Amino acid sequence: MSDQDIINCHIHTFTNDHTPKYYPHPVFVVFRWVPGLVRVMRRAAWFMPWAHWHSFMVRIEAFHRSGNRKSQAAIFDEIQPYYPQGTKFVVLPLDMAPIGHGPVGRDIRHQHDELAELAGRYPEAIIPFANVHPDNPIAAEEFRRCVEDLGFRGLKLYPKMGFAPDHPVLMEEVYPLCADKKLPVITHCSRGGVARKGWGKVECDRVTAPFAYKPVLERFSDLRICLAHYGGDQDWENYIDKGFHPDNPAAKEGNWLWQINEMLTCGDYDNLWTDISYTIFRYNKYAPLLRLLLTEKVKDCDRTILDRVLFGSDFYMTRQESLSEKAVSIRLRVELGEDVFTRIAKKNPLEFLGLPEK
């Protein structure tokens, strides 16, 4: 097991050509017309009296630089120096055409084809997943093409972009194919990120909450589903900074970190997983709690949380944060210890992805 390579279960390589023209607001189209504007803003921030403005703009500029790359290969090139040779990456595309923020330059078919070509160039390093947005009329057929013709190895979902996890297209066509081919599913589970135009917090939370997956997990009990981001920054922050008053059980039960832990250990959902992508980039604040969750024995439960957590980073979304990919993985390795790190970054991903051990 010791010579097993790290598997980063959650990265992105889509470019601005794959994001809607007017996302997140029509006024942002100016950054497409004048890509150098972010650099000008970063330089201007240097003269501001608040030091954090400049460091914030440095990170935003790095994020824009990645998104502005002309190809997925160019973005993939950026992540490689942060990891040891031999690391594998699960690459997650996104179909943002149906979310109401204007047209995309290149559609999901093109995005999948480009990713398939990239995976062909790095067959040892890239594990490509296909994305389904059920509002795209070709979604189910395109997913089948990715699996059967392009050799894709899993499904990526992002319900906040406008659909419930038990949408009929998913329940009747997409999940059955995943179950049949034993393909894993990674789905966005954080209150942050991209949302369908016009959707507020209520609609987004309704389709993103961990408990929203219960009908799927009950119908497809063999399907391996990973709730990405472990519930997300806001719920980790509430868990730590506010806590839960015993007279108000609804507050605890509404917390997504609590919901995921509950589902991982209740014994009803054997094939449920979570990943720590993005959330763990608030490293100083959350690493001690992660260590506790991964090392603690849960009362009256055979399964530990450690059995079901995956390492992932969410590159290049993490360009908006101050720690680099390498800094986070080194710190995690030290904080968690070699055994726990090996478990979440090597052994668990193999099981989730259905890959053989070396």
- Identity (one letter) of the amino acid at 246? P
Q: How far is the CB of 188 from Zn ion (least distance, A)?
A: 7
Which two three-digit tokens encode residue 260? 């995921």
Closest CB to Zn ion: residue number: 314
Q: How far is the CB of 125 from Zn ion (least distance, A)?
A: 18
Q: Which residues pair with 131 in a beta bridge?
A: 156
CB nearer Zn ion, residue 45 or residue 225: 225
Q: Which is nearer to Zn ion, 163 or 315 (CB)?
A: 315
Q: How far apart are CA 39 and CA 36, in angstroms?
A: 5
Nearer to Zn ion, 45 or 126 (CB): 126
DSSP letters, 145-204, are HHHHTS----EEE-GGGT--TT-HHIIIIIHHHHHHHT--EEEEEESSS---TT--HHHH
Cα–Cα distances in angstroms (integers) from residue 61 to residues 119, 248, 317, 322, in the given order: 28, 43, 12, 12
| Closer CB to Zn ion, 45 or 209, in the complex | 209
Nearer of residues 265 and 313 to Zn ion, judged by Cβ: 313
107 or 314, CB closer to Zn ion? 314
- Report the candidate in 88, 115, 158, 143 with the shortest Cα–Cα distance to residue 17: 115
CB 228 to Zn ion: min, Å = 6
Cβ atoms of residues 7 and 88 within 8 Å: yes
Compute the least distance from the CB of residue 250 to Zn ion, in Å. Answer: 29
Burial of 99 (0-12, 13-18, 19+ CB in 10 A): buried
Instruction: Please give the span between the terminal C-alpha atoms of the chain, in angstroms, as a whole number.
Output: 7
Minimum Å distance from CB 51 to Zn ion?
29
231, β-bridge pairs? 190
d(CA 184, CA 92): 12
Cβ 235 to Zn ion shortest distance, Å: 16
Give contact residues for Zn ion (rule: CB under 5 A): 314
State in angstroms the smallest separation of the CB of 333 from Zn ion.
22
Judged by beta carbon, residue 160 or residue 343, the one nearer Zn ion is 160
